[in-house]
Amino acid sequence: MKTKSKLGSLLIFIFCLYSLPAFSYSPYLDQIINEYQIRARCELCHSSNNLNIFGNDFKKSLENNGNDLLKTLKELENLDSDTDGYSNLEEIKAGSLPFDPASFPGIKSKLLLLKKSH
């Protein structure tokens, strides 16, 4: 009986450990939402457990700017992280995904970026 109890406890612990990313919170996301008046999710920068190309650009720029978020966002606006010919700012404003070359202004994604309704 003790073995089943220990196994059950271990399984619960493992489940909780794998669930942590789903419960994580990023103040950067709130600031991005406020700056651009969009609704966005963590997938703006993350793919599974890794950063996507936009997330890597964001991280590198944030480190180079001494964690100054506004300076980082302004710097990222002019980049084209996914090299699809549209700047990150154009994509964010249009509701397309700055990390996906198949998503560009005119091809909106309902998955991540939508204009905030007031």
* Residue pLDDT, tens place only, 44-81: 898 888 999 999 999 999 999 999 999 999 999 999 99
Average pLDDT over residues 90-114: 77
Asked whether residue 8 carries a pLDDT value surpassing 60, the answer given is yes
Distance CA 39, CA 67 (A): 22
Mutual angle of helices 27-36 and 69-77, in 10-degree steps: 60
Asked if 61 contacts 69 with a C-beta cutoff of 8 angstroms, the reply is: no
Contacts of 69 (CB under 8 A, 6+ apart): 28, 31, 62
